[in-house]
Structure 1
Amino acid sequence: MCGSSSAKWRSFDVRILRVPTDFRVVEQFDESMLTRSGEYLVYSVSTKGMTTGEAADRLAQAAGVDPEAVASAAQKPKEGVAGQVFSILGGEPLSLRGGEFVARRLGVSDRAVEPGDITGNAYEIVVRDLRGDDMRRLRHNLAQVKQAGLPNYFDDQRFGCLRHGQGYILRDVLRGRYEQALKSALAAPSPYGAEPVERYKAQIREQWGDWATLVGVSNGRRGKSAFEYLREHEGDFEGALRFGLSSRERTMHLFAYQSHLFNRALAAKVRAVAEGENLGWLPCDEGSLPVWRELPASESMRWAESELILPGPGMEENEEAMRLYGPVFEAEGVSMEAFCALDLPGFRPISETRPLLMQPEYLRAAPAQDDEHYPRSKKMRVRFTLPRGQYATLALKRLLMPTELGAKRLCMWVSRHPLVWPTDDGTPQYFERRPREERSRSGGERGPGGGRPREYQGGGREGGSRGGGGRRPWGRERRDDRKPPRDRRPQGKPRSPWEGRD
């Protein structure tokens, strides 16, 4: 079951990313970067179950160029179906068609594609394992989000270091704990790691300090350069971080910690306008995220016009940033001045501004359908568009949030990762995973009963009813599965990328 510091409760499950086609994202491309002539070929590429890096490698191989010649505007996760834009410097013209990889030429340009060439992303997400109250809750929250939006936090994708057990490497660096930072980066156990990788990391932990042995163990594997450096420079873990982690990996850890600081500052600002029954909470690996349920129109407009700078050089000139970040850095036990003064490759923060309000456009939910993967449950397709840099999973969490205080807890499965809703006071809740060897013997994390986790059986919705007594699973709740009101979009407003596909 799920761990809790409060009274016992039962959890209701909903799921996204059950299969790759449950999550579709298409980049909205600004074609003004295309030119009549140029040495860069620009492609629209559709992939399924493939990272952006893997797609770039496949394009490079097909075009006969080095991987460095392929550029993309943004990174997309491996899970799901993605439509992205790539540019290739030189090489053979391509037209690739396959079951999971399609590349179509858009034109040419005199430069590589950049993040600014993408104005946003259009999403189509299937939410599964829904019952009557889940659909009522989703439609209720959808109306609130249309009216008031939600705080523009960074979401779980930004915090892979937490999901994989590493923690905030940069926080250890700022506290002078260089050895701990290196060990966590190279050897922290992950519940999601492949078994060969986890065995290798266990070897590193067992042999830690015996650098000569680790050089041999790590031959051709991640960490060898760090162990070679420590063999020659005993105790210089700060130097080992420079040589043992790539600049790209250090940058990912910088972004994670910088995003954590931003989220905590934004959370404090949200708590100032939302309290009591108007205050809700969203789950996140980084910590519980407070949100409002409703906002007056004037307050919503003020939030729509507001931005907050990410912590970094120059933030001392921003009065609101200093007021919001001061308590955050104090709670973290690190110096704001030391963070802003970081000057290591990959560890150089940049003070960009970020809007404080997320306002999904073209937001709608299609009528529910029978869920082929979970008997006696329903599925719904949710569609919306977001500006670049905002998180669709955050919008999904807000749409599924409990609508009243004291509600039974909800667990949202994102692929195989469970996220449990916080308590009414924001206390984080966690799913208690069984040991790897126990899961292997019993066939994995999920047990019988419509694919629900074994830990949840016997409580909540198991058996196809909510209260026992032989009640039919679809009685009066079916009223919540009504077709949404027709779109009353003002005449002349641009059409959604998903228009007409219900």
Structure 2
Amino acid sequence: MKPSTYPLEQSLGMTYYATDTRGIGGVLRSTPQDFIVEELPVAFTGTGPYLIAKLTKTSWEHQHAMREIAKRLAISPKRLGWGGTKDRNAVTTQYISLYDVTEEDLAKVSLKDIVLEPVTHHQFNLGLGNLEGNRFAITLRSCDSEGLAERTAAITADILSSGIPNYYGIQRFGALKPVTHRVGLHILRGEYEDAVKIYVGDAFPHESDEVKAARTAFAETGDAKAALHDLPAKLSYERIMLDSLAKHPGEYGAALRAMPPKLLSMFVSAYQSWLFNMALSARCAAGVPLSDANVGEHLIFANDRIDTVTEKNLPTARQHMKRGRCAVAAWMPGATLPVTPGPLEEEMFALMEKDGVSMQSFANASAFTGTNFDGAHRKIVLRTEVASEISGTDVTLRFTLPPGHYATTVCREYMQGSPEQMV
């Protein structure tokens, strides 16, 4: 393994690459067609109150697309469900559920760069994780031509042999504005004013001078009406918060709750993701291979069975891991803790203590957002079969990932470039 030299990646806990081979560089998402995602759906029941539709969209932010579809159908967005949140700068195909919506209703929806096709019916609403996985076809443009084929092959071999750190990708924290985990931290601490001021008031280098000035002014003055006037319409989520504050000055909790519920919950889960990334990087820094286990760590098997590694069963655990039967997993902290903390969990609890966050904080955030934050096991290693094709200085990668895994984490291993090239 070798460390990343990029401060942004380090701040998000994405500190190591699995391979020692020099990256191939390149640019991700030169066009949306360079990043194609096809969702692999669960089996549907064929009957029920939910219409299942296949949604294909190009260059649409996920939450924005769902709001617009609900608006065209004249229904509450709460009647829409989906198994996974898809990238904006991409061509994505996924499945959504619509409660008490007919095929005739769906046929009336007309939105640029969105295609909705009725598929079947289902007894249940689709929720996050209700999918088998995602299939990707991703083209990296203008890669470094020197030894391109050899370096691509070497990185592919490393991924196939030992896997890579299963980091949450940069878009989990906000692609061009990676602050969601910081907002989540303040929600967990009940510091709603700080949460709003970070989300609305933090300016970033890539933004226009107009946007930077508006953000900075709000951070300094807290004047929601002025910021609402100055921020462009495209910053729709900031404007939702500001509109609430303009109507109800000082009520920062209400401003946060004005956000779409699923987006609000993602702030808190982003903090959980940051904890996981940081603990995983600390493990990498200690030099423990992803394919090995420490005493006290937890193993997850294909049937979701969890075992704890002990001195006695360590040789057996290593054999199971070698044969691909299980992998080390970390329990991301939440309101519950069903396992005895091992080294990874202890690292995360130490970070929480430093941040002034407890398990009760997650219970409080659950009450505030209306979403459970019980925590979950996540494998520390990502393994997948990658097929690569080279055309000039362009490299196309084809692979499939389980739910909740990040294609950009795979691309990052190949590119090893600045995070700004990953969005």
TM-score, normalised by the number of residues in structure 1: 0.62
**What is aligned with 1:225?**
244
Amino acid at match of 1:17: R
Question: Which of the numbers 376, 392, 400 marks the counterpart of 1:352?
Answer: 376
* Aligned-partner Cα distance in 2 for 1:125–1:184: 33
Which stretches in structure 2 are left out of the alignment for 5+ residues? 8-22, 232-237, 290-317
Question: Which of the numbers 142, 161, 164 marks the counterpart of 1:129?
Answer: 142
* Aligned-partner Cα distance in 2 for 1:313–1:204: 34
* Aligned-partner Cα distance in 2 for 1:63–1:168: 35
Question: Which of the numbers 53, 56, 61 marks the counterpart of 2:66?
Answer: 56
Question: Which of the numbers 20, 23, 27 marks the counterpart of 2:32?
Answer: 20
Residues 1:244 and 2:255 are matched in the alignment: yes
Residues 1:107 and 2:120 are matched in the alignment: yes
Summarize the Cα distance change of 1:299–1:345 in structure 2 as closer, same or farther, 3 Å threshold.
Answer: same
* Aligned-partner Cα distance in 2 for 1:339–1:42: 36
* Aligned-partner Cα distance in 1 for 2:194–2:334: 24
* Aligned-partner Cα distance in 2 for 1:201–1:99: 30
Amino acid at match of 1:22: D
**What is aligned with 2:133?**
120
Summarize the Cα distance change of 1:90–1:167 in structure 2 as closer, same or farther, 3 Å threshold.
Answer: closer
* Aligned-partner Cα distance in 2 for 1:68–1:29: 21
**What is aligned with 2:411?**
396
Amino acid at match of 2:421: V
Amino acid at match of 2:33: T
**What is aligned with 1:204?**
218
Question: The residue matched to 1:128 in structure 2 has which SS?
Answer: strand
* Aligned-partner Cα distance in 2 for 1:138–1:126: 13
- Equivalences for 1:70-89 in 2 at 5 Å? 70-88=80-98, 89=100
* Aligned-partner Cα distance in 1 for 2:415–2:87: 22
- Equivalences for 1:327-346 in 2 at 5 Å? 327-330=350-353, 332-337=354-359, 339-343=361-365, 344-346=367-369
Amino acid at match of 2:101: G
* Aligned-partner Cα distance in 1 for 2:207–2:161: 41
Summarize the Cα distance change of 1:336–1:316 in structure 2 as closer, same or farther, 3 Å threshold.
Answer: farther
Q: Is the 8 A contact 1:207 1:214 kept in 2?
A: no
Summarize the Cα distance change of 1:141–1:191 in structure 2 as closer, same or farther, 3 Å threshold.
Answer: same
* Aligned-partner Cα distance in 1 for 2:239–2:323: 55
Summarize the Cα distance change of 1:400–1:13 in structure 2 as closer, same or farther, 3 Å threshold.
Answer: closer
* Aligned-partner Cα distance in 1 for 2:70–2:224: 37
* Aligned-partner Cα distance in 2 for 1:213–1:51: 26
- Displacement of 1:3 in angstroms is 8.3
Question: Which of the numbers 160, 166, 171 marks the counterpart of 1:146?
Answer: 160
Q: Is the 8 A contact 1:164 1:188 kept in 2?
A: no
Amino acid at match of 1:342: N
Residues 1:414 and 2:421 are matched in the alignment: yes
**What is aligned with 1:305?**
327
* Aligned-partner Cα distance in 2 for 1:259–1:66: 29
Q: Is the 8 A contact 2:188 2:362 kept in 1?
A: no
Summarize the Cα distance change of 1:200–1:103 in structure 2 as closer, same or farther, 3 Å threshold.
Answer: same
Question: The residue matched to 1:33 in structure 2 has which SS?
Answer: coil
Amino acid at match of 1:226: L
Question: The residue matched to 2:397 in structure 1 has which SS?
Answer: strand
Question: The residue matched to 1:26 in structure 2 has which SS?
Answer: strand
Q: For the pair shown, which has the larger CA radius of gyration, 1 or 2?
A: 1
Summarize the Cα distance change of 1:100–1:128 in structure 2 as closer, same or farther, 3 Å threshold.
Answer: same
**What is aligned with 2:397?**
382
Can you list the C-alpha shifts for 1:14-66, whole angstroms capped at 9, x where unaligned? 11101110000000012x2232x333221112211122334434544565644
- Displacement of 1:369 in angstroms is 1.3
**What is aligned with 1:315?**
337
* Aligned-partner Cα distance in 2 for 1:220–1:322: 37
Identity of aligned residues (%): 21
**What is aligned with 1:33?**
44
**What is aligned with 2:18?**
none
**What is aligned with 1:292?**
none
Of stretches 47-56 and 160-169 in structure 1, the one that deviates more from structure 2 is: 160-169
* Aligned-partner Cα distance in 2 for 1:365–1:224: 48
* Aligned-partner Cα distance in 1 for 2:55–2:228: 40
Summarize the Cα distance change of 1:178–1:100 in structure 2 as closer, same or farther, 3 Å threshold.
Answer: closer
Question: The residue matched to 2:174 in structure 1 has which SS?
Answer: helix
Question: The residue matched to 1:24 in structure 2 has which SS?
Answer: strand
Summarize the Cα distance change of 1:102–1:359 in structure 2 as closer, same or farther, 3 Å threshold.
Answer: same
Amino acid at match of 2:196: L
Summarize the Cα distance change of 1:16–1:87 in structure 2 as closer, same or farther, 3 Å threshold.
Answer: same
* Aligned-partner Cα distance in 2 for 1:387–1:138: 23
Summarize the Cα distance change of 1:216–1:102 in structure 2 as closer, same or farther, 3 Å threshold.
Answer: closer
Of stretches 348-357 and 70-79 in structure 1, the one that deviates more from structure 2 is: 348-357
Q: Is the 8 A contact 1:306 1:356 kept in 2?
A: yes
**What is aligned with 1:439?**
none
Amino acid at match of 1:223: L
Summarize the Cα distance change of 1:50–1:335 in structure 2 as closer, same or farther, 3 Å threshold.
Answer: closer
- Displacement of 1:186 in angstroms is 2.5
Amino acid at match of 1:349: F
- Displacement of 1:101 in angstroms is 2.8
Amino acid at match of 2:414: L
- Displacement of 1:253 in angstroms is 1.9
Amino acid at match of 2:329: E
